[in-house]
Amino acid sequence: MSNILFEDQIIGQGDFPEKPEYGSDFIECTFDKCNLFERDLSNLNFTNSTFSGCELSMSKLQNVQLNNVIFKDCKIMGVDFSKCTGFLFEANFYNCILDFCSFENLKMQGVTFKDTSMKGVDLTGSNLQKSNFLNTDLHDARFSHTNLKEANLSTAFNFIISPTQNNLKKAIFSEHNVKGLLYEFGIHIV
């Protein structure tokens, strides 16, 4: 059985297949205002595609491939991205709500989170080297054995990151958010 190929298409709210065939490929597609709440998107492949204004909360992403995928203005709460295939995982998030998602143990070098809410997100064991957290809310985000080498957190806020349990070599912080690095030491900055 061959995979179904969707290429260079604009897929609107009612156009997303009800039960996409196993292994379907979406290449250079734009998903516009699709409601994929609690949908099972397992075993699908998305390449060079954009999700714009979509609802993906609680969707299932078992063995999903995200290769150069952009999420803009999307609500993606409670999604376990760690179930995605780690091979070629490349996604960027702009003005999204990613609260309570898991990126545990994912290799996501160079990913951008911009103007995004990441409250309660699990980043344990993730490789976020050279990633950008631009104006991103990291309240209650979990960082443990996370590689943040050369990451830009200069405009991120509400985070607590242990410098002894995470790789922060050459990471960028601002003088306004450095207190999140000192929490475990009981040091207060006024």
Closest CA to 90 of 47, 56, 52: 47
At the top level of CATH, the class of 1-95 is: mainly beta
Residue 190 pLDDT level (bands cut at 50, 70, 90):
low
The per-residue pLDDT for range 125-159, each reduced to its tens digit, is 999 999 999 999 999 999 999 999 999 999 999 99
d(C-alpha 152, C-alpha 164), whole Å? 18
Domain ranges of the chain: 1-95, 98-184
Give the CATH H-level superfamily of domain 98-184. Answer: E3 ubiquitin-protein ligase SopA (2.160.20.80)
- Same CATH topology for 1-95 and 98-184? yes
The per-residue pLDDT for range 59-109, each reduced to its tens digit, is 999 999 999 999 999 999 999 999 998 777 899 999 999 999 999 999 999
* pLDDT score at 87: 72
- Spatial contact of 67 and 46, defined as CB atoms under 8 Å apart: yes
- The secondary structure element, H or E, covering residue 181 is helix 179-182
* pLDDT score at 1: 41
Residue 127 Cα distances to 20, 56, 57, angstroms: 31, 24, 24
3-state secondary structure 50-80: EEECCECCCCECCCCEEEEEEEECCECCCCE
